[in-house]
Amino acid sequence: MPDGVEQTKKLVDDTHEYGIIMVEREGKATGIYRANIEYIGKEVKYTQISNFTIRILYHIHRGRTAKRVVLLVNDRNREAIADSETNQLTSLQKFVDFAAMQGNFSFWGKSPDLQKVLRKLYDEEKPGFQIETLGWYRRSKFFVFANGIFDGTFRPVDKYGIVEDSKESFYIPYANPPDEYQYQNERKFWYDGKSKVSFQKWAPLFYQTFGMNGAAMMLYATACLFSSDIFAYMNRFPLMFLYGEGGSGKGTLVESLQAWWGKPQPPIKISEKANTDKAKIRKLAQYVDAMVYFNEFTSDVDISVIKTLSGFYDRFGYERASMDTKFGTETVPINSGVVIDGNFYPADDDPLLQRLIVLEMNSNERSKEQRDNYDRLMRMNEKGITTVTGELLRHREMLDKQFRAMFRNTFDSFRVFCKDVKAPDRMFSNYAVLLTCYKALAPVVPWPFNYFEMAKFLRETLRQQSSKRAVGGAVSNFWGVLEHLISTKVIADGNQFEIRDNLFYLRFSLIHPLYLEHHFRIYRKAGLNRTTLQDKLKDSDAFVESKANHRFAGNWKSVTSCMVFSLDKIGVKIEEIVSSMKYKGENEGSVPTLPYGEGQTPSQPAGHIPF
């Protein structure tokens, strides 16, 4: 043996098997040694070829590529752990460079020596898997945090980032990164094994702090924790929208619940240009069954962003080219639930609105009791409440089974309960997800509120959302355009519309082309097609009836079809506008002359409107 190295059976076996030995001993003896066998006298002499030992902790298969997690220890007892692509080990120069990159690690052997080293390393390495995505790991049925896995109990990673299973090994690269600035957000996804906070202790305090909005958000966070199972059953997953003025506690509410997954993740600003649509989707691909927070929804959000947000409901990610095949693609998926907040109500886009559960938070005043509860809650959250998450995760199999058994009945019952609420099935379905989560876990989870009060709260929430959906958005924009058309004398009382006995008679077929033109001018986006807009107007509270035969004052010799609305419910003061313009005696019964560019062409006579 080299000086100072005690002979062991393993060193002797390695000498004959590989022609090299690795000595791990603090001091100068640490390193790799080449065995030079002298047959005369049967002596073996050793030549040192490095100042470090090397061990492959983990061999990871990744499609066409593979990598190895390598541990190096030098003669100063300094350790380095690094990810290595296979080709960094197989070439002598690349191996020398790879070792030097880790610090004071020098290899001065030759190419045959390296081949002996690799043969030994490959024989002793363990196959395993690198976990790329935190959260629910369906393949092995456990929940992954940056510092370990939870499968009923929490098992932390060792100092190399590895968790040993009875059958497999798992490498989590986020626990101990070599660079303190690396994986900063992933390291927030952290299980606090020292916490002793229980759901029974935390949930009532959270409920007392945030009230029924908090209760609904608690159910939504629970649904997010099991969203992959819920989506597998429903093929959709609702989005949560918190609407209200600044200082109403929207961000505080979300961050308090994000503590279920460790430290709250920083919110993603919807309007910030750096956060492209693909960047938003990548964020939702990073974690499985988490809750991602998008904030600052505004009225002028680009239509592409609206479509991206709507796609989260159906979990439409995006495709990119795969490096493993010539023409193949791989999908960047949507893996988590989404909470959006804003000071503007999301009524301008009905497809998005139908995919949301909208909670209104308009109060920015707090009682002393609420402020005290909030302070207590924050102190509890800062200590760590991932033990609350662990309690819920233990019931995953139960929730999946019960959700599938209970959802249809819950949906039907809630629809009957909301019989006076006019809304599409999709919106009832969104709210039924929360109620089904409550029912599925009620036997084992001590909810701090009862089912009936939650159902009543969600009914009123849906009623408000449905009402604003009817009078807001496209319908509201229509009446805004109509107000503009009247104010600018593009249309006149007695021709395209008529006011009589507090009713508003509208020749829709004449108005729709003008609506399309002026909607784009005012809102910088296309209006709705004729059929869709008619249906939405008929669904609004202002609609009274459709008439097949009506005589307008400006065209009393013939009858025409029209739509009739209640003046009090259309949301704009049309009667006042008409009166202020003094149509009587000046323009009654006539269509005002339009300047060129307002719906005319050079070949049309003045005053002609191309209906």
**Mutual orientation of helices 111-124 and 92-101 as an angle, nearest 10°?**
70
In this predicted structure, what is the pLDDT of residue 590?
Answer: 41
Count, residues in the chain = 611
Would you place residue 592 in the very low, low, confident or very high pLDDT band (cuts 50, 70, 90)?
very low
Edge-to-edge strand list for the sheet holding 503-506: 497-500, 503-506, 560-566, 543-550
In 23-176, where does DSSP find H-type helix?
87-90, 92-101, 111-124
Residue 95 to residue 68: CA distance in whole angstroms: 13
Beta strands in 501-575 (DSSP E): 503-506, 543-550, 560-566
Q: Does the pLDDT value for residue 288 go beyond 80?
A: yes
Would you place residue 596 in the very low, low, confident or very high pLDDT band (cuts 50, 70, 90)?
very low
Average pLDDT over every residue of 113-132: 89
Residue 122 to residue 280: CA distance in whole angstroms: 40
Average pLDDT over every residue of 255-269: 92
* Nearest residue to 315 (alpha-carbon basis) of 232, 217, 413, 437: 232
In this predicted structure, what is the pLDDT of residue 33?
Answer: 93
Contact 473, 345 (CB under 8 A): no
Residue 405 to residue 605: CA distance in whole angstroms: 68
Average pLDDT over every residue of 160-188: 82
In this predicted structure, what is the pLDDT of residue 73?
Answer: 93
Beta partners for residue 339, in sequence order: 240, 293
In this predicted structure, what is the pLDDT of residue 415?
Answer: 95
In this predicted structure, what is the pLDDT of residue 213?
Answer: 95
Q: Does the pLDDT value for residue 420 go beyond 70?
A: yes
In this predicted structure, what is the pLDDT of residue 325?
Answer: 45
Residue 480 to residue 488: CA distance in whole angstroms: 12
Q: Does domain 199-395 have CATH number 3.50.50.60?
A: no
List CB contacts of 143: < 8 A, sequence separation 6 or more.
135, 136, 137, 149, 150, 151, 289, 389, 393
Q: Return the domain boundaries, the chain.
A: 9-125, 129-188, 199-395, 473-580
**CA 8 to centroid of chain Cα atoms:** 56
Contact 437, 399 (CB under 8 A): yes
* Nearest residue to 129 (alpha-carbon basis) of 116, 115, 142, 114: 142
Contact 231, 433 (CB under 8 A): no
Mind listing the pLDDT tens digit for each residue in 132-157? 899 999 988 999 999 999 999 999 99
Mind listing the pLDDT tens digit for each residue in 67-116? 888 999 998 889 888 888 878 888 999 999 999 999 999 999 999 999 99
Q: Which amino acid is at 165?
A: D
Q: Does the pLDDT value for residue 314 go beyond 70?
A: yes
Q: What is the 3-state secondary structure (H, E, C) of 285-301?
A: HHEECCEEEEEEECCCC
pTM over 0.75: no
Mind listing the pLDDT tens digit for each residue in 517-561? 998 887 777 888 888 888 888 877 788 999 998 888 877 778 899
Residue 356 to residue 240: CA distance in whole angstroms: 5
In this predicted structure, what is the pLDDT of residue 429?
Answer: 96
In this predicted structure, what is the pLDDT of residue 422?
Answer: 86
Cα separations in angstroms, 264 against 14, 187, 272, 421: 50, 11, 20, 36
Mind listing the pLDDT tens digit for each residue in 503-522? 999 999 999 999 999 988 87
* Nearest residue to 588 (alpha-carbon basis) of 548, 547, 556, 550: 556
Residue 253 to residue 217: CA distance in whole angstroms: 8
502, two tokens: 């507090």
More confident residue, 591 or 159: 159
Angle at 281 between CA 277 and CA 285, to 5 degrees: 165
What is the end-to-end Cα distance of the chain in Å, rounded? 102
601, two tokens: 């062409």
Would you place residue 603 in the very low, low, confident or very high pLDDT band (cuts 50, 70, 90)?
very low
Mind listing the pLDDT tens digit for each residue in 389-407? 999 999 999 999 999 999 9
* Nearest residue to 476 (alpha-carbon basis) of 522, 423, 442, 431: 522
Highest mean pLDDT among 86-100, 162-176, 449-463, 564-578: 449-463
More confident residue, 243 or 279: 243
Residue 545 to residue 564: CA distance in whole angstroms: 5
Q: Does the pLDDT value for residue 423 go beyond 50?
A: yes
* Site of tokens 């959000």: 301
The overall average pLDDT reported for the chain is 84
Q: Is the dihedral of CA 584, 585, 591, 597 positive or negative?
A: negative
**Mutual orientation of helices 396-417 and 451-471 as an angle, nearest 10°?**
60
Contact 572, 486 (CB under 8 A): no
* Nearest residue to 508 (alpha-carbon basis) of 588, 566, 564, 570: 564
Average pLDDT over every residue of 364-371: 78
Q: Does the pLDDT value for residue 454 go beyond 90?
A: yes
Residue 543, SS3 per DSSP? strand
**Mutual orientation of helices 451-471 and 474-487 as an angle, nearest 10°?**
30
Contact 238, 313 (CB under 8 A): yes
* Site of tokens 């974690």: 287
264, two tokens: 């709250």
